[in-house]
Amino acid sequence: MYIRQKPLFSFDTLMQYQPKTRLAMVFESIDLHPLLKTLPIKSIRGPKGYSSAALIKAFLAMRLCSIPTVTLLVERLKTDLVFRYECGFSLEQPVPSLATFSRFFQKIAETDSLQVLFSALVDTAIQDKVISGEVVAIDASAIDSYEKPVPKKELNSNGDSATWGAKLDTHGNQHVWFGYKLHLAVDTKSELPIAVKVTPANRNDVTQAIPLMDEIKHQPKYYCMDMGYDAKDVYQAAYERQAQAIIPLNRRKEKLPPEGMDENRTPTCSMGYPMVYWGCEREKGILKFRCPHVCGKVNCPNGSAWCSPSNYGLVIKKKVEDDPRSFCTPHRGTREWEKLYAERTSVERAFSRLKEQLGANTVRVQGIKKVTAHLMLCCIALLAGTIAVNRQIHQQKAA
């Protein structure tokens, strides 16, 4: 006859002596209190149910561990006791069912709880100096719908359903999809999202630029965007926020540049030569251009005296406030401008991480509210994971 001896330590006690896993370190970097305050208060009657904190941790673990479906998440919770413990579920209680997760996901999709948590993590990343916030890149990416594609004439006109979208890729080929668009504002230093918007696929990218700017608490110095965002309202919005929009000009089939300027909106002299950019007064928003002949850039047949009797040559000053689209600091086409615009590619790498590593391209829910919740969970997981890794690095250096 064999008698099984009771364990000397409980599972919880044993876990306290184990090295912290990656998942545990990520959860330590997340303060769930702002999210829990936004959720509806549970009724005092009926069963207590499962902890909201544990359920939201399970959804984040699903993204961090690349678990594609909730069905597989439930199976992982049943078979992996360490995983279940780190998510915050009691080992004595049954694992939440698929229906429980579905109802909770519906609840958080109907509230702004995930947006509140996302904003709190952005603030934490700024405090930890993970996010610089000086240069921000804005762009949009296609998100395929889990819903069945329908012809354009049968689409719902309420503006919130999945629609057909079309966009040119980096090679100039047109990509068509049925679903939504994920619009991101990304800190170029850390390549982390700081503002998120989700729209139907047929929504123009430029319509979400200003709403993304409005979501950013700590206003940057520069906004980098591609040619699709070349609109006067975007430049004006950036200028009003004491920032500069770094956007290539979209010629829109114009045959000739405006009179007195070249294609980069550089003023030209009386002989038609582009003048030399000679710096700017950033605080006043004034750009200075000098005579190209005096600066040695061209050999003007009329010399510099034709435009100005001064030995310094002709000088033209332009104010950014007069035309924020044409004039910017630094001036479009200069090395400094090109260097800033090159940082725009950080948003592409953010999209790549969200889709390839965190499941942003494997949407298994329908409706824009649930799709938004799915994508917000992906962004929250990316933020929390980066904050946790940064803190671990600092702890190792301090040790």
Strand order in the sheet with 286-290: 276-281, 286-290, 315-319
At 247, list the tokens. 């956007």
What is the signed CA dihedral for 338, 342, 343, 347, rounded to 10 degrees? 140
Task: Tell me what the mean pLDDT of segment 211-225 comes to.
Answer: 93
Beta-bridge mates of residue 277: 289
Q: How confident is the model at residue 17 (pLDDT cuts 50, 70, 90)?
A: very low
Q: How far apart are CA 175 and CA 169, in angstroms?
A: 7
Between these two residues, 192 and 16, which has the higher pLDDT value? 192
Q: Which of 15-29, 59-73, 200-214, 216-230 has the lowest mean pLDDT?
A: 15-29
Question: Could you give the dihedral angle defined by the CA atoms of residues 358, 360, 366 and 367, in that order, rounded to the nearest 10 degrees?
Answer: 120
Q: Is 88 left (phi over 0), alpha (psi -120 to 50) or beta?
A: left
The answer, yes or no, to whether residue 97 has pLDDT greater than 50, is yes
Is residue 316 exposed (0-12), middle (13-18) or buried (19+ Cβ within 10 Å)? Answer: middle
Q: What is the pLDDT of residues 137-159, one digit of tens each?
A: 999 999 999 888 888 777 766 66
Q: Residue 211: how many CB atoms within 10 A of its CB? A: 14
- Asked if 200 contacts 371 with a C-beta cutoff of 8 angstroms, the reply is no
Supply the DSSP string of 289-345, one letter for each residue. EE-TTTTTS---TTTTTTT-SSTT--EEEEEGGG-TTT--SSPTTSHHHHHHHHGGG
pLDDT in tens, 206-215: 999 999 999 9
Identity at 83, one-letter amino acid code: F
pLDDT at 1 over 60: no
Domain with CATH 3.30.420.10 in the chain: 129-248+344-398
In a 13 Å sphere around the CA of 257, the CA atoms on its Cβ side amount to: 14
Q: Which tokens belong to 315?
A: 């000088």
Percent of the chain scoring above 70 in pLDDT: 91
Helix (H) or strand (E) holding 140: strand 135-144
Q: Is 149 helix (H, G, I), strand (E, B) or coil?
A: coil
Q: Which residues contact 163 (CB under 8 A, 6 or more apart)?
A: 152, 155, 178, 179, 200, 201, 202
Using pLDDT thresholds of 50, 70 and 90, give the confidence band for residue 20.
low
pLDDT above 90: percentage of residues in the chain:
50
pLDDT computed for residue 99 by the predictor: 92
pLDDT of amino acid 9: 43
Confidence of residue 3 (pLDDT cuts 50, 70, 90): low
Tell me the mean pLDDT in the region 272-298.
88
- What is the residue whose two structure tokens read 């992996």? 80
- Return the H-helix or E-strand segment holding 349: helix 346-356
In Å, how far from its chain's centre is CA 214?
Answer: 13
| Cα(249)–Cα(4) distance, integer angstroms | 77
- The correct CATH number of 129-248+344-398 out of 1.10.10.10, 3.40.50.80, 3.30.420.10, 3.30.465.10 is 3.30.420.10
What tokens were used for 344?
């725009």
Residue 17, Cβ neighbours under 10 Å: how many?
A: 7
